[in-house]
Amino acid sequence: MPGWTSLVVIVLLLGGMNLLALGIVAEYVGAAVRMAMGKPLYLITSDPSTGPLYRDVDEADPSVLE
């Protein structure tokens, strides 16, 4: 059967382009779904003012504030 190599190459290239296009559409739809859910990008679970790095301005070293 002559020409089967070129036929297989064409079919594989077209299949690859279809998969690439499907991946691009899936990324777009996934981003739209994530935005539509309304969830925040990150969630603060504690108050930073009570954390280990909190330092009250009144208690701070005066030389640092200058």
Q: Are 18 and 24 in contact (CB under 8 A)?
A: no
What is the rounded average pLDDT for all residues in the chain? 81
Q: Is the pLDDT of residue 65 over 60?
A: no
What are the tens digits of pLDDT across the range 36-52?
888 777 777 667 666 66
Q: Are 54 and 48 in contact (CB under 8 A)?
A: yes
Chain CA centroid to CA 43, Å: 16
* pLDDT top residue among 45 and 13: 13
